[in-house]
Every structure is written in structure tokens, then in C-alpha cells.
Structure 1
């Protein structure tokens, strides 16, 4: 059984929170202009709790930069923030290739990915 696990990790990468050598499975979130194919990555948390905290901070920062607080985009973000844990759970349990939220032609995505683990003084800190 260990050989199949090794092959899966080598080809697919580790699942979220799992480690493999210097890498860890994570959630990746960011934005992309619809159809551009050039994503801008914002963060790569390794747990759902970290993901929720970081996405909430990112969306609240978006709201703080908006001059019209009664626009359709701000109302959409406010509604999303009100039910963020449920919306994230639904998105993570569904098709993560679909955008998490679309605002004025900009898509926010949440996907699974892999990143390098952080080291301090020769030890992994995750």
C-alpha cells in the first residue's frame, strides 16, 4: 500500500494539510480577470480555519477601499461575509474550478494546491 501512496503523492501532490518532503498541501486563493488566464495569488493557508480568516480579511479590505458602499458588488461581498463559513464549506465540497465569487469581471478563486514548507532555524514551523 505504501507504494501506491508514494506514487499518488509524487504525481498529485499531498492533500491539504499533509506534508511530503519540503512541501505541504494547501488551499490557494486569489483573483483573476475573467478569461485572462493570469491569476494573482493572494494566500496559501493550510487549514480551513486559516482560509476563512484570510478570505474574510481580504474581503473586508476590499469593502474598506470601496467608495460606494451601496453598490451591487459591496452588497454581494457583505452577503458573502455574513455566511462565509457555509459558503466556503459548500465551495470546498463542490467544483473548485468554478469561481468562488465574481465581482465586475474579476473572479475570486479558492483551489487546492501545494506550496513549499516554511523553515526557521532548520526546522519546519507548520
Structure 2
């Protein structure tokens, strides 16, 4: 049950990435984000920093220190989400190749693209 929810949450959050990225040009960065250079790093950072955010938000009331911590966490979450978004756009294109290949009888293309698709898909949902 947890994995489909994670995938659904990631899909829903993908719509927020373009907005966050657009605002990025207008903001001054105050903290350095933990790098998310690969999809594996991005998913790990996304999970870890969302858990930290959830722990802070469990408080009955937020204080100034909480707000500062949330602000700092948000940089890593945003960077991870941007990487996930980029990777999911690419994997969507790969899945489309699988779809088209299945319609046209491209056995080799379906096999290679299907394997590439699953490699990325499993990274996100496992």
C-alpha cells in the first residue's frame, strides 16, 4: 500500500516543480541543498528530508526555530523533487516507446525500453 501512495504523491508533486523552479530565479538562496545528482540520491533525499519535515510538523505549534529548520530542509526537498521530475519526464518518454513498440511489433525495442523503464520505475517506488 505504501509504494502506490509514494508513486501517487510523487506524481502529484510533479505539478508543483515547475512553479518552484520558476520562483527559483527570483529568490536568493540562503542554504545549500544536499545534492541530488542521481535518481537514487534524489529519492533518498526526498524520503529523508520529508521525514524530517513531517517530524517538525507533528508539533502542536510551530516556532521560529521550526520555521528556520523547515526553510533549510526545503532546499534539499526542492532539489530532490526537481531531479525526480526530470527523471520521470524521461521515463515517461521511455514508456511511450514501450507502448508504441507494443503496437508496432518492435520486440527488441519493447524489451530494451521496457527494461530501461523498469530500472527507473523501481528506483522511485521501492
Q: TM-score scaled to structure 1, two decimals? A: 0.27
Question: Which has more helix, going by share of residues?
Answer: 2
Return the index of the structure with the highest Cα Rg.
Answer: 2
